[in-house]
Structure 1
């Protein structure tokens, strides 16, 4: 896949080849979309790609740390990211509850219940290539929990489970990426756990041939 992307896009020409592997990019749910005419605009000069640790503005443009000549520009785009853990932590006035959120990319049991704050459910913290499907499945799990059909494990057991997920995500994903990401076979394993909690068979296909060879899709979980 890396070879194919380097072939169809002029990444080397514009010094845009990432230092990390493609598998780490996908495993972190960082999946950018590229407009069809993006690199055409780069070749024309209407889009300027620059890497820099620092910069400052002047009356005529912007100066990067390694340059002395201002670059004339009309618009600067800051790719600053989004600190979702801060948004959740600020829900609480208690410093203790705030500290429960910080420090982990996967602080939630089943990606929606914090072991130390089981009265609060967070849906949408974890990402995947299909976020709607991921959130919908957990919404069904949460409805079973509220109805009393699911009993949560002990705090210690939930924290051990979240720690295992954290270790796995950090192993295969970008270590600088804070947010949880569920991709590839991890998505299937996650849904298997949710199905078992709700009392459903995690094998969602009608018979063993598609179970072995057909991909899992959202419709397989429609009757949960």
Structure 2
């Protein structure tokens, strides 16, 4: 069978799945995209009515597909519906929409033809170092069709997983008898609340006492939306243990945040995986400069945003937060709503439920000291996501060994994937879009380009042991980054080393990593999606 006739499956039609399909098509393949929902867009299909991009549109875009011309001052941070339309337009422009099978949920994937023991003994990825192996093994996908056509099994030669990180909610644990089961109102996770029709979400909170648990981006957006609906008559109570760095976009623009974080010069100040002795010494020498820059930025934000007045100064420094990308954009008029009583902020050590709402404690929850009762009719848990579950669940029913292998090493701060795309011991599978940063769509596209070149033979992988050494370099870097962030580090976050990571992908694909015109521009101009438009 010719390579272009090989059967390629893509799971998910969010931004990463669209990019993976587009670039596979560009290399001559005819992939099949399985999407459980009725439209493309991934997480952008289920957002609050007020949700906007957290990064400027110029950074959150595909390299060869610009946004339509802005028509309003707010176009710098497009609304959720504008993002959805942008993604759909991309899919239509490059023929992706015709390859998507909507209403098809992948229930499980099993590798057939080679035993797990044989796979574990291979010295080359997929047996021979090539994307499709020697033709012995193949993936069988069990798919549930929304139309009620049963659960047929489909056979593929290569599997690209674009399932994202935000599909399984993480729910807090509570002491026995003090959990949601004792509450007489309604408890739901922010994922469920965001997935509701906007009219239904508004009706749920209107005229009710709402408590929001959490202090991240989703918590602040949810609290702001509830405050807009009810005002000070029924204030929304936001309960949190520690505040996050949430910045006003106008303030962020004034400090040229992208320039501070997206240049090669900025990357010289941080340690990088596999950097070598010279760059390691240089990063150590320049670290005081990065510290001073971060402290000056932090001081400016504290002076410009009334976080200290309201007890919302984060426990970690701004430098730590930016390294681990624990950052977000402050909802419009958030602190105005705090000032007028529409939002009440309550910091605590632990949270438990009662019949009438929540009980807050200053300690760890074992004692009764300083207990504060918060009356509520609705509690919305903005407590994050189990980010490994979507990947693990693809394999859990049929090939649990592969699932356990691909999400192992959780203490390292990164998934054990070579180039963040393929596991050395899991054949004929690529993961696109798991990495985290300020502009995840940019990294998704670069990964999609790399995987498409791998399918076409344009990327030659080293032996399994060398791949594992590459994974180990990133694991060591992840542990170091996590320590540097004081634990405030998003798993597989490449925000501080994005250009370094893209350099690796470019070299693998046979392209020069130097994408700027001139030496000065190469070092001081921010890198962004359009710099990689020539890589197809």
Q: TM-score, normalised by structure 1?
A: 0.89
Equivalent residue in structure 2 for 1:140, among 414, 431, 449:
449
Give the corresponding residue for 1:179. Answer: 491
Give the corresponding residue for 1:7. Answer: 303
Give the corresponding residue for 1:31. Answer: 327
| Shift in Å, 1:221 | 0.6
In 1, the alpha carbon distance for the partners of 2:499 and 2:530 equals 13
- Deviations along 1:156-214, one digit per CA (max 9) or x if unpaired, are 21222122112223323443545211123x11111111111011111112333422332
Give the corresponding residue for 1:217. Answer: 528
Unaligned segments of structure 2, at least 5 residues: 1-296, 363-369
Contact 1:110 1:194 in 2 (8 A): yes
Distance 1:74-1:42 versus aligned 2 partners, 3 A rule: farther
In 1, the alpha carbon distance for the partners of 2:519 and 2:488 equals 40
| Shift in Å, 1:10 | 2.1
Give the corresponding residue for 2:422. Answer: 113
Give the corresponding residue for 2:432. Answer: 123
Contact 2:393 2:403 in 1 (8 A): yes
Give the corresponding residue for 1:203. Answer: 514
Give the corresponding residue for 1:64. Answer: 360
SS in 2 for 1:192: helix
SS in 2 for 1:62: strand
SS in 1 for 2:379: coil
Unaligned segments of structure 1, at least 5 residues: none
Equivalent residue in structure 2 for 1:96, among 377, 398, 401:
401
- Deviations along 1:108-135, one digit per CA (max 9) or x if unpaired, are 1111111111411111100111111111
More moved, 72-81 vs 144-153: 72-81
- Deviations along 1:86-126, one digit per CA (max 9) or x if unpaired, are 22112113342232113333221111111111411111100
Equivalent residue in structure 2 for 1:167, among 476, 479, 486:
476
- Deviations along 1:56-87, one digit per CA (max 9) or x if unpaired, are 33344322124444223444332221122122
Distance 1:55-1:210 versus aligned 2 partners, 3 A rule: closer
The root-mean-square deviation of aligned C-alpha atoms, in Å, is: 2.1
Contact 2:436 2:492 in 1 (8 A): yes
| Shift in Å, 1:34 | 1.0
Contact 1:56 1:62 in 2 (8 A): yes
- Stretches of 4+ aligned residues off by more than 4 angstroms: none
More moved, 159-168 vs 74-83: 74-83
Contact 1:125 1:179 in 2 (8 A): no
In 2, the alpha carbon distance for the partners of 1:194 and 1:127 equals 16
The number of residues matched between the two structures is 223
SS in 2 for 1:5: helix
More moved, 7-16 vs 190-199: 7-16
Contact 1:28 1:177 in 2 (8 A): yes
Give the corresponding residue for 1:80. Answer: 383
Give the corresponding residue for 2:344. Answer: 48
More moved, 112-121 vs 165-174: 165-174
